Amino acid sequence: MKTAQLHHEYQPEKFSFTPQNMEKIHAIFAKYPAGRHKSTVMPLLHLAQVQVAERGPYGPYEEGGGWVPRAAMDEVARIVGVPPIKVYEVATFYTMYNLHPVGKYLIQICTTSPCMLGGIGSDVIVNTFRAHLGIDFEQTTPDGLFTMKDVECLGACVNAPVIQINDDYYEDLSPERVIDIIEALRSGQKPKTGSQTGRMGSCPVTGPTTLKDMVQNG
Ligand code: FES
């Protein structure tokens, strides 16, 4: 259960979707049968979060990531035609919705058992982030670049330890790769995503054991 922070000091008074996103909303609505549009609350909240990531408001940061202001929840409720509380309930339940400003890069570190035990272990990864960024979970670096948070299983346990930064996964992590990733992002580069040891997908670390011909021939 997340802590609701709907009255955070950085809440904007108003929120409206861009014309481009209103077009997307019409397309989302078209996917649902008549009378079932309440189900669009989740994709619309996600769209609001993406819009904030692209255009702000970023709260206290010059540049920031996506979050869902309360005014956006109210706007979603208005568009969908449900009481605002129905949207608040969804937004405060799912951890994919950020309820307060976050950094430009939202680092989600999996600390569930397989990632805690797999590879070098998530504890080492967490401590590397702590030491290199000088922040802990639920904190943001003063320059607004990085927010760190711990999450449950990201669904890529075979390549543990795993993190997600914005929409990208980084797997088979080591402390060295964590620092490389941070520094690449800091300098505006795009780090290599996926397995950091170069294995393809989630094949065995010693190489494929089946369908070898297909792998070798691409
Ligand atoms: S336990 Fe970390 S990805 Fe599943």
Mutate to test the pocket of ligand 1, among 117, 126, 154, 172 (most ligand atoms within 8 A of CB): 154
pLDDT of residue 217: 52
Q: Among the atoms of ligand 1, which is closest to the Cα of residue 112?
A: 1
| 101 Cα–ligand 1 center, Å | 26
Residues 188 and 114 in one domain: yes
Residues near 143 by beta carbon (within 8 Å), at least 6 away in sequence? 61, 62
Task: Let me know if residue 211 belongs to a domain.
Answer: no
Q: What is the CATH number of the domain that holds 115?
A: 3.40.30.10
Contact in structure between 122 and 110 (CB atoms under 8 Å) = yes
What is the chain's alpha carbon radius of gyration, rounded to the nearest angstrom? 20
Q: What is the CATH number of the domain that holds 86?
A: 1.10.10
Residue 39: C-alpha distances to residues 75, 81, 90, 125, 179 (Å): 15, 11, 11, 37, 41
Neighbours of 206 (CB within 10 A): 7
Residues 78 and 136 in one domain: no
pLDDT tens digits, one per residue of 37-47: 999 999 999 99
Residues 78 and 112 in one domain: no
Q: Which domain holds residue 137?
A: 105-195
Looking at the structure of the chain, the number of domains it has is: 2
| 115 Cα–ligand 1 center, Å | 5
Residues 115 and 190 in one domain: yes
pLDDT of residue 2: 44
Kindly give the parts of the chain with pLDDT less than 70: 1-7, 215-218
d(Cα 106, Cα 103) in Å, to the nearest integer? 6
| 160 Cα–ligand 1 center, Å | 6
Residue owning tokens 């320059």? 143
pLDDT of residue 7: 59
Residues 161 and 119 in one domain: yes
The two structure tokens encoding residue 87: 């949207």
Contact in structure between 18 and 108 (CB atoms under 8 Å) = no
Q: Among the atoms of ligand 1, which is closest to the Cα of residue 160?
A: 2
Task: Let me know if residue 216 belongs to a domain.
Answer: no
pLDDT of residue 200: 83
Residues 64 and 117 in one domain: no
The two structure tokens encoding residue 18: 């861009």
Task: Let me know if residue 178 belongs to a domain.
Answer: yes
Q: Which of 41, 62, 93 is the last residue in one of the domains?
A: 93
pLDDT of residue 199: 86
pLDDT tens digits, one per residue of 21-60: 999 999 999 999 988 999 999 999 999 999 999 999 999 8
pLDDT of residue 209: 83
Task: Let me know if residue 46 belongs to a domain.
Answer: yes
- What pTM was estimated for this model as a whole? 0.87
| 33 Cα–ligand 1 center, Å | 35
Contact in structure between 140 and 45 (CB atoms under 8 Å) = no
Task: Let me know if residue 40 belongs to a domain.
Answer: yes
Q: Among the atoms of ligand 1, which is closest to the Cα of residue 161?
A: 2
Q: Which of 59, 93, 127 is the last residue in one of the domains?
A: 93
Mutate to test the pocket of ligand 1, among 162, 164, 169, 173 (most ligand atoms within 8 A of CB): 162
